[in-house]
Chains A and B, each alone.
Chain A
């Protein structure tokens, strides 16, 4: 529970809300408990009426009834007020918390997102924040209400008969423990069932979207069995929850039943003996019922409390993840264009440390099923090269040779772990990160499209660009002819809720983005792999004037696209195996020459 301290700053901001909320809760509970008290008073007036003046009794009863109305009206008002304060406060706390978490996400480097799946990060932002909201709202309120209710009822009962208090309250601890266990079972069961439903849902999705394959391969029965198994499992998990739920409800009824029985059996004769009055005896049964009611949900409240605390810890983990790619303390300003790029002894190892992996210490069953490369793997091995401003460098190699990693390091997406990368003799770690990123145009192999219009997607790095500039970039990336297919041209909404572009169109969108930037260094990572060769030629023609006057690095496994390169690096398994110009490499008759021969054969045989 020490993690609760992390809420400190938020609680401080809203402390008056929570303090006033607590005061309101005390008042409301007190008024609520007054109602059975006045009921008792009425009954006493009636049972002792024979010795009294009927009119006095009548007015006493009217007075009690009026008091109940007053307490009820006042109580309802204060109750509303207490909830607005506490539940509202929790929404505000969570609003701020979410803002801070999102701020943090914006600062965490891309490598963090490589190590942590989107689903995992989203679960922190969505589920954990929601659990904290539960903690700050309902949990706080129920716990406060229950505590106050216990305190007031206990003192009321004690004032009537300490003996009956002892007997009436005796079964409570037992029931709280039992309810706690049941609540745990129900919650775990519901969570399992929910996960099973998600599995079932993705099974149906798979079957329906694979409809064509299933029919042509006559896999209907096979697939049906798979679905049936899932549905059966889902039913089984639901029944487990039903069973737990069916056990909890009588348990709670049992608590008030046991209390009532004890009070009646022992208290009844006490009334007869005149030790307590009939009215206070009846009021007492109501007090016990009032205590029993919140006890029923106490189990849930306690587990919500625990869940909230765990979530708070998980959020803490997120905000404490070290940001490894930050602005240097005193960045060296870049004057003029970017200078010569030098890479020296660059070495990258993947999968070695668990640094920055969320929940690395938690057992994740899903992880076990996946194929994970055991041990660490050297992705780039002691790589060194240089690129003069205005020159074009090509990096060639098979899938997995380390091309993309190199590009991501040059784009300042990944940290330089070992070795050095410098521009004009200044280490990139000393250059302003924000400044540097503005001068590098990176076109990744696969790009992501935001749920914005095509124009906004192209203007991603340059939100102030004019329509004409955007149009020009679209034309240069040979995306213009695709506009006819889009319902609203450049204003067509893309992404998840909009139109889905083909692989080639996505690549050209990514290219258009960079064309709009006017960068000093262009990084093209297999940019035209999904574009047909004819269009690729056109785009390369278009790129040529752009490439003049700025440095370009092209990574590719399609050798025909690198005809303009001044220098070619050939990577194999992260190692630089050959370098030179196209002609010198062909003459050397090594890996490059072999690749070249195979590709020209494959294309024209």
Chain B
């Protein structure tokens, strides 16, 4: 091993210890359960050892010499020990599992809560699917520690050591002979298990590939048929199906060989014990009992004990490599989870010393410059001011920085250069909750929770009554749309609002913002296609929202913004033009060109 590799290994082991100790910090609150579980484990392991020993006594002291005095008492003891093991084992398994479930519940909740606080920058860098995996798959891998019995490995160790002690005490030579096979067992299982694992990984990836193919083809089946690709699809599927079969056969072959090898090695040990131990028993029977010391000589009962114990000895040993794999997976998963918990990409909260001004509704951008992580300036040196009750539209091509204005104003990103003032105070001085209460936002992406339409309007604001929510909905003419549902506003919204059209969802998000009565409205206009009637309702609702309120509209279609007080035209993050619709049209610049391009004058 090279020094570097050794160092890496050392560091790795320290690393694993760190993960384990942080995991322990989540288990600590449940240490009572854990201690109870471990104590029970010791007791059940002891019972597991005692039962065969009682059989040995029965053979040597009663059955073989033909002396039945005290035999029933021994049998009663046997019943008691077995019953205790059964009852306590149930309790022990449940206790350990419960401790694990509780600890991982805490971890999961803590992780989610931490992620909620992370800034948009973090979410720009990380794919949602991967993050979801942290909360689910990775924590499930930690769960495996408990359900696969890695946690109870301590019990296994105690069991193995006690077994050896008893066997050595019975006959140390035979014990050594019995252990001859053990290295082969460890070697075989660890060698084949590694290959079994990679074979299973290959199999899983092939299966998921196949499922992906099937999913895609089922989804696009109409296209396959109208474009007459059935034959092609069939021939594409064949190699995929074959590959799955082949990988399954491969994994199964290895698994079969492994289990056969373990069984074979077990039987060989039995043969070895009988052959060598039989000889010892024979000598012992012929010899005078007084000549034999502790650890030598062997009775028939003890021979039976060896066979029985070694059978029980093999199982935890052959599982060892599997448990090691589970442990490694869990530590890797734990590392990922804790690294996410350590993520510090938060939007800083103010110290809370600033006195918040009364709400007026004025916004000012002062020399605002902002870059995303890719380095390019999204906004550069932007300054403008909006008075109370005024309306402003921001237009520009995709990528001109329109949405960035919204994201900075609501502090989804932390601003470092320049300043944004709300009612005369820098927004960095506002606690983010207060800021976002003052600035109401309508986004393109409407987020609906499972619940009724009214609940989706009230969302997170218990102070808004259902009556008030319904009143607001009526004001935006939502009734016209939702009276098609038998329950009206009490209709349940299904998974992300599948039963609603995009226009209806937009209207709900309008109602949501209207219900919280923010002093400033920021709206990212939706580009989705809605029919003419809904479009009219949306326009109407927009007017209601903007009434007596400072408003900013991020506009994608120019037809909706011709009545605003002022229009900003952005180009590559800079303020290129500014003025009213008429002024900008007369100016004949970018705005004019955009307007003509949208074909608004053509029809």
Question: Smallest CB–CB gap between A447 and chain B, Å?
Answer: 7
Interface SS of chain B: helix, strand, loop or mixed?
Answer: helix
Q: Does B191 contact A (CB under 8 A)?
A: no
A245 touches B93 (CB 8 A): yes
Q: Give chain B residues whose Cβ lies under 8 Å from the Cβ of A333.
A: none
For B407, give the chain A residue with the smallest CB separation. Answer: A212
Question: Smallest CB–CB gap between A472 and chain B, Å?
Answer: 18
Q: Does B184 contact A (CB under 8 A)?
A: no
Question: Smallest CB–CB gap between B484 and chain A, Å?
Answer: 9
Complex: A583 Cα to B213 Cα, angstroms = 50
Q: Does B452 contact A (CB under 8 A)?
A: no
A253 touches B86 (CB 8 A): yes
Complex: A254 Cα to B79 Cα, angstroms = 11
Q: Give chain A residues whose Cβ lies under 8 Å from the Cβ of B270.
A: 35, 39, 68
A603 touches B249 (CB 8 A): no
Q: Mark A516-543, 1 if CB is under 8 A from B, else 0.
A: 0000000000000110111001000000
B460 touches A448 (CB 8 A): no
Question: Smallest CB–CB gap between A43 and chain B, Å?
Answer: 6
Q: Give chain A residues whose Cβ lies under 8 Å from the Cβ of B215.
A: 118, 122
A208 touches B115 (CB 8 A): yes
Say which one of A152-160, A260-268, A303-311, A572-580 lies at the interface with B.
Answer: A260-268
A106 touches B223 (CB 8 A): no
Q: Mark B590-602, 1 if CB is under 8 A from A, else 0.
A: 0000000111111
Q: Interface residue count for B (Cβ, 8 Å)? A: 142
Complex: A62 Cα to B279 Cα, angstroms = 9
Q: Give chain B residues whose Cβ lies under 8 Å from the Cβ of A205.
A: 128-129, 132
Say which one of A9-17, A380-388, A594-602 lies at the interface with B.
Answer: A594-602
For B135, give the chain A residue with the smallest CB separation. Answer: A204
A43 touches B304 (CB 8 A): yes
For A414, give the chain B residue with the smallest CB separation. Answer: B222
Count A-B pairs with CB separation below 8 Å: 375
Q: Give chain B residues whose Cβ lies under 8 Å from the Cβ of A64.
A: 274
A106 touches B64 (CB 8 A): no
Q: Give chain B residues whose Cβ lies under 8 Å from the Cβ of A260.
A: 55, 82
Contacting residues of chain A (445-504) with chain B, CB-CB under 8 angstroms: 447-448, 450-451, 460-461, 463, 495-497
Question: Smallest CB–CB gap between B106 and chain A, Å?
Answer: 10
Q: Does B436 contact A (CB under 8 A)?
A: yes
**Contacting A530 at CB < 8 Å: which of B78, B234, B437, B529?**
B529
A265 touches B75 (CB 8 A): yes
Say which one of B3-11, B255-263, B571-579 lies at the interface with A.
Answer: B255-263
A604 touches B601 (CB 8 A): yes
Question: Smallest CB–CB gap between A144 and chain B, Å?
Answer: 16
Question: Smallest CB–CB gap between A409 and chain B, Å?
Answer: 12
Q: Give chain B residues whose Cβ lies under 8 Å from the Cβ of A219.
A: 459-460
Question: Smallest CB–CB gap between B490 and chain A, Å?
Answer: 12
Question: Smallest CB–CB gap between A326 and chain B, Å?
Answer: 11
B216 touches A84 (CB 8 A): no
Q: Does A238 contact B (CB under 8 A)?
A: yes
Complex: A245 Cα to B92 Cα, angstroms = 12
Question: Smallest CB–CB gap between A56 and chain B, Å?
Answer: 11
**Contacting B85 at CB < 8 Å: which of A221, A253, A370?**
A253
Question: Smallest CB–CB gap between B239 and chain A, Å?
Answer: 12
Question: Smallest CB–CB gap between A146 and chain B, Å?
Answer: 16
A95 touches B245 (CB 8 A): yes
Q: Does A92 contact B (CB under 8 A)?
A: yes
For B146, give the chain A residue with the smallest CB separation. Answer: A242
**Contacting B101 at CB < 8 Å: which of A45, A77, A238?**
A238
**Contacting A76 at CB < 8 Å: which of B71, B85, B115, B261?**
B261
**Contacting A42 at CB < 8 Å: which of B221, B228, B274, B562?**
B274
Q: Mark A296-318, 1 if CB is under 8 A from B, else 0.
A: 00000000000000000000000
Contacting residues of chain B (200-242) with chain A, CB-CB under 8 angstroms: 211-212, 214-230, 232-234, 237-238, 241-242
**Contacting B232 at CB < 8 Å: which of A73, A247, A434, A463?**
A463
* Residue from B113, B136, B228, B278 having most chain A Cβ neighbours under 10 A: B278
**Contacting A448 at CB < 8 Å: which of B63, B220, B260?**
B220
**Contacting B237 at CB < 8 Å: which of A102, A281, A437, A450?**
A102
B226 touches A442 (CB 8 A): yes
**Contacting A534 at CB < 8 Å: which of B131, B257, B598?**
B598
Q: Does A421 contact B (CB under 8 A)?
A: no
Contacting residues of chain B (117-131) with chain A, CB-CB under 8 angstroms: 117, 120, 123, 128-129, 131
Complex: A569 Cα to B218 Cα, angstroms = 33
Known: A215-B412, A371-B494, A604-B600. A278 touches B300 (CB 8 A): yes
**Contacting B460 at CB < 8 Å: which of A222, A247, A281?**
A222
For B140, give the chain A residue with the smallest CB separation. Answer: A197
Q: 24 A-B pairs, CB-CB below 8 angstroms?
A: A58-B279, A61-B279, A76-B264, A79-B263, A80-B260, A91-B245, A106-B230, A118-B218, A218-B436, A227-B112, A246-B89, A246-B91, A249-B93, A254-B86, A278-B64, A371-B499, A398-B531, A447-B223, A450-B216, A451-B216, A497-B212, A602-B532, A603-B559, A605-B559
8 pairs of A and B residues whose beta carbons are closest in the complex: A72-B267, A222-B460, A65-B275, A461-B227, A242-B97, A246-B93, A533-B599, A110-B222
Seed contacts A213-B445, A235-B101, A254-B86; 11 additional CB < 8 Å A-B pairs: A79-B263, A197-B136, A209-B128, A212-B407, A218-B437, A220-B117, A249-B90, A261-B79, A265-B72, A269-B71, A411-B226
